[in-house]
Amino acid sequence: MGKTVLVIGTGTIGEPLIGLLADIRKDVGIDEVIFNKHTPLVHDRTKVIYLMRRGAKLAVDEEKIPQFQELGMEPTYTKLEALDRADVVIDCTPKGFGMENKREYYKNFEHNTLGFIAQGSEFGFGKMYVHGVNDEALVPGEDRYIQVVSCNTHNLAVLIHTLALSGGPDNLVEGRFVCMRRANDISQTSSYVPSPTVSEHIDPRFGTHHARDAHHLFQTLGLELNLFSSAIKLNTQYMHTIWFHLSLKRPTTLERVHELLHENRHIAVTHKKSANLVFSFGRDHGHYGRILNNTVVVLPSLHVSGDGKEIHGFCFTPQDGNSLLSSVAATLWFLYPDDYTERLRVLEPYFYQEI
């Protein structure tokens, strides 16, 4: 039986995900990659055509087929045909649409689909997931809906997992984070800010959604962590930057922190202190500019207190690369739960130990 993966949405996260899946499909055991584009737009034509050249097939709403054809984009399937063929569906639509699609479409295709995946904004869609952090929480045959958490939540999660929980499940006393977000993505034209703009602490317990989502992620492992996050948007387009403070029960040393970071292949370290240098490295050595690590920790920024119980530091969030990796990992987990990590090795050239 052929394995088919359908990506819904061709935006900031959908476009690179479709391209990545098309590029690696033969190596990882995917026969067909289909993408659903919602709106026929002349300025999106090149993106669609080049994704098709890389081997992905276009699916659109049946009534929009003539509009796509008029613009020179030839669909292979209707959206419903694509949903019917898909073994795994990855929803990459804006906030709220994933939940709506779950109600309107995905529930009707559960009988012939292994699983559905949504992205960072779809709180409540399914089990929260970060590849390399809570893989053991996924239950084959039971988990049909997975939410790949946001890129900054990936970053928080891997820091907590590596620097605190490696010392025992009860080792984290508290984790505090300031997410300094880039104003918008390279591909986006709206939401740029002219100066640093702070976010409200809308969550009474966790501050912003980053700590809330990380808390829920670790709940899948049976842990109740004390986390709090704040967020500020900066007038840069390069990378998100995170300041972190982990308070531990058991003391550590700076040397041990370096060792732990080195041992985790999802973490890159760097001596570069500027986000544009790390971003630029990704442009030259990543997959279409993206490195797939969960975080890039700035070594000179690390500080361990005299009693060894407080770790402070800064790290950069690798664009959308970490969410792309978890999306591919979740897809392969649905398709091949027994050996998906082996199959993921094809992406190892884009995990860096040092940047």
Binding site residues, ligand NAP, CB under 6 A: 8-14, 37-39, 92-95, 97, 119-122, 150-151, 185, 320, 323
Q: Nearer Cβ to ligand NAP, position 107 or 250?
A: 107
One-letter amino acid for residue 320 of the chain? D
Could you give the C-alpha distances from 235 to 182, 183, 231, 278, in angstroms and in order? 7, 5, 13, 17
Least distance from ligand NAP to the Cβ atom of residue 120, Å: 3
Least distance from ligand NAP to the Cβ atom of residue 38, Å: 3
**Burial class of residue 4 (count of CB atoms within 10 Å of its CB; 0-12, 13-18, 19+):** buried
Q: Nearer Cβ to ligand NAP, position 164 or 351?
A: 351
Least distance from ligand NAP to the Cβ atom of residue 176, Å: 22
Q: What are phi and psi of 312, to 5 degrees?
A: -120, 150
Q: Nearer Cβ to ligand NAP, position 172 or 324?
A: 324
> Pick from 314, 244, 313: which is nearest to 274 by CA?
314
How many separate helices (H) and strands (E) can be counted in the chain? 11, 16
What one-character DSSP code corresponds to residue 199? P
Least distance from ligand NAP to the Cβ atom of residue 245, Å: 24
Instruction: State how far the Cα of 294 lies from the Cα of 278, in Å rounded to an integer.
Output: 13
Least distance from ligand NAP to the Cβ atom of residue 48, Å: 9
Query: For residues 71-108, b (16+ Cβ closer than 10 Å) or e, as one string?
Result: eebebebbbeebbebbbbbbbbbeeebbbebbeebbee
Least distance from ligand NAP to the Cβ atom of residue 35, Å: 8
Q: Nearer Cβ to ligand NAP, position 96 or 140?
A: 96
Least distance from ligand NAP to the Cβ atom of residue 254, Å: 31
Least distance from ligand NAP to the Cβ atom of residue 13, Å: 4
Residue nearest to ligand NAP (CB): 11
Q: Nearer Cβ to ligand NAP, position 162 or 317?
A: 317
The region that residue 72 occupies, defined by phi over 0 for left and psi between -120 and 50 for alpha, beta otherwise, is left
Tokens of 1: 């039986």
**Burial class of residue 255 (count of CB atoms within 10 Å of its CB; 0-12, 13-18, 19+):** exposed
Q: What are phi and psi of 330, to 5 degrees?
A: -65, -40
Q: Nearer Cβ to ligand NAP, position 59 or 172?
A: 59
How is the chain split among helix, strand and coil, in percent rounded to 5?
Answer: 40, 25, 35
Q: Nearer Cβ to ligand NAP, position 155 or 162?
A: 155
Crossing angle for the helix pair 151-159 and 209-219, to the nearest 10 degrees: 60
> Pick from 112, 116, 100, 133: which is nearest to 266 by CA?
133
Q: Nearer Cβ to ligand NAP, position 95 or 271?
A: 95
Least distance from ligand NAP to the Cβ atom of residue 320, Å: 4
Q: Nearer Cβ to ligand NAP, position 87 or 91?
A: 91
Could you give the C-alpha distances from 119 to 4, 188, 317, 322, 348, in angstroms and in order? 19, 17, 16, 12, 22
